Amino acid sequence: MGFSSYEYSVLVLVLAMMVATASASNFYQDFDITWGDHRAKMFNGGQLLSLSLDKVSGSGFQSKREYLFGRIDMQLKLVAGNSAGTVTAYYLSSQGPTHDEIDFEFLGNLSGDPYILHTNMFTQGKGNREQQFYLWFDPTRNFHTYSVIWNPQQIIFLVDNTPIRLFRNAESMGVPFPKNQPMRIYSSLWNADDWATRGGLVKTDWSKAPFTAYYRNFRAYTSTSSNSFSNSAWQFQELDANSRRRLRWVQKNFMIYNYCTDYKRFPQGLPPECKNSKV
């Protein structure tokens, strides 16, 4: 007994759907909502997540798993319109007073004015390594991919696969490097109008609330994930000539603050890792 062509096409469709769900990211499976009640939502069968902020509260989520090295990708679409005073934080962090942390923070702005992407790196509980950037696109119109490549040699921050920041392992200069504390992924949307927009001068316009940011297509490539075989590039990843060129392009045209050039802030001398931060 054979299949009719109708039965055959139904079978093909069902198989195709099974493959698609197996490979699509699922927020229900990988993340927990940690605060903000109904303000944080997973929907479309776990393929989309949204965080929102109103006058009463923001919201947040965290990964179920911890990660130690890997490549972590997430697509975000940030709060549109007048988002001044709102901050969307997306970061990896371990726990405790000597924690390590890799930070992306998106500082909202008035309609038509650019977001600031604020980044920082904590090692053994010590941060103070801020770098800030404008983006070369409007991060509220579409989803864009924000990634971290973390291996024992370096940490690379990427936006749509363009490296924007490189933190090299500088243990030989006495700078601790994140390498034994596993990190979870966290994100939250909150109100920071006491400092975020022009140092707190522009206040959140609550008549525009709720403010909402969206997440999709989470991917984690680690040495234990099943897809690591085809995506193990992160383990050895160093910047090739083309990536270095793109990193220089970002740093030249879009970087608005770099702790490594802030001589006023470090009158005793710049932090040691700044010496090998040349690309």
Q: Verify binding: residue 49, ligand NAG, rule CB under 6 A.
A: no
Question: Which residues, 257 to 276, sit near ligand NAG by CB under 6 A?
Answer: none
Quick one: which segment of 53-61, 105-113, 144-152, 155-163 binds ligand NAG (CB under 6 A)? 105-113
Q: How far is the CB of 202 from ligand NAG (least distance, A)?
A: 7
CB of 87 to ligand NAG, least distance (A): 9
Answer whether 174's CB lies under 8 Å from 275's CB: no
Is 171 annotated as catalytic?
no
Annotated active-site residue in 66, 105, 238, 273 = 105
Query: Does residue number 78 form part of the binding site for ligand NAG (CB under 6 A)?
Result: no
Q: Which is nearer to ligand NAG, 63 or 197 (CB)?
A: 197
Asked if 197 is part of the footprint of ligand NAG (rule: CB under 6 A), the reply reads yes
Cβ-based neighbours of 85, under 8 Å, separated by 6 or more: 108, 191, 192, 193, 196, 197, 202, 203, 204, 205
Query: Given candidates 64, 198, 248, 278, which one binds ligand NAG under the rule CB under 6 A?
Result: 198
Instruction: Note whether 109 binds ligand NAG by CB under 6 A.
Output: yes
Nearer to ligand NAG among residue 147 and residue 197 (C-beta) = 197
SS3 per-residue string spanning the chain = CCCCHHHHHHHHHHHHHHHHHHHCCCHHHHEEEEECHHHEEEECCCCEEEEEECCCCCEEEEECCCECCEEEEEEEECCCCCCCCEEEEEEEECCCCCCCEEEEEEECCCCCCCCEEEEEEEECCECCCCEEECCCCCCCCCCEEEEEEECCCEEEEEECCEEEEEEECCHHHCCCCCCCCCEEEEEEEEECCCCCHHHHCCCCCHHHCCEEEEEEEEEEECCCCHHHCCCHHHHCCCCCHHHHHHHHHHHHHCEEEEHHHCCCCCCCCCCHHHHHCCC
Q: Which stretch binds ligand NAG (CB under 6 A): 47-55, 64-72, 106-114, 181-189?
A: 106-114
Active site residue 66: no
To the nearest whole angstrom, how small is the minimum distance from the Cβ of residue 201 to ligand NAG? Answer: 8
Using the rule CB under 6 A, give the single segment among 1-9, 38-46, 59-67, 192-200 that binds ligand NAG: 192-200
In the complex, minimum distance from the CB of residue 76 to ligand NAG, in angstroms, rounded to a whole number: 16
Retrieve residue 87's tokens.
């901050």
From the list 30, 32, 54, 113, which residue makes contact with ligand NAG (rule: CB under 6 A)? Answer: 113
d(CA 171, CA 92): 20
The binder of ligand NAG chosen from 53, 72, 76, 107 (CB under 6 A) = 107
Shorter beta-carbon distance to ligand NAG: residue 114 or 127? 114
114 lies in the binding site for ligand NAG (CB under 6 A): yes
Q: Which residues are catalytic?
A: 101, 105
> Which residues bind to ligand NAG, rule: CB under 6 A?
107, 109, 113-114, 116, 196-198
